[in-house]
Structure 1
Amino acid sequence: MKHGKRPTRTQKQIIKKNGLNPENWLISKNLQHEQRLIIIHCHTGTVRECWA
């Protein structure tokens, strides 16, 4: 599994728009052509997708 990176300001806005707390999530993949993020929870390791 890849290690996550801290989200940028625009990525934090996308995470927040999807109803999640951006402080608890790390970015695994940023798929710009599909306008979605693959994110990993810091504490539990849960993987989710966020759509822009």
Structure 2
Amino acid sequence: MKQPRNLTRQRKIHIASFRLNPDNWMISKKQFDNWLIVHRLTGSTRIIPAP
């Protein structure tokens, strides 16, 4: 698993808007129209639209 990095405030707000706890998620891949986020503990992935 990748080394977790702290999210910026705007990224935390964006992840929280999807009813996810930003403390438990990290951004794995940023694409033009979506983000691949990975749960820090379980390793499950989700794709959310980019802001």
TM-score range, shorter chain: 0.7 to 0.9
**TM-superposed deviation, 1:5:** 3.1
Once the 2 structures are TM-superposed, how far is the Cα of residue 8 of structure 1 from its aligned partner?
A: 1.6
Give TM-score, length-normalised by structure 1. 0.76
Q: How many residue pairs get matched?
A: 49
Work out the CA distance in 2 between the residues paired with 1:30 and 1:11. Answer: 11
Q: RMSD in angstroms over aligned alpha carbons?
A: 1.5
Instruction: Give the gaps of 5 or more residues in structure 1.
Output: none
Name the TM-score, length of structure 2 as normaliser.
0.77
Query: Does the 8 Å contact 1:5/1:28 carry over to 2?
Result: no
Q: Give % identity.
A: 35
Q: Deviations over 1:3-40 (max 9, x none)?
A: 14332211111100111000000110112x21x21100
Q: Residue 14 of structure 1 contacts residue 50 of structure 1 at CA under 8 Å; is this kept in 2?
A: no
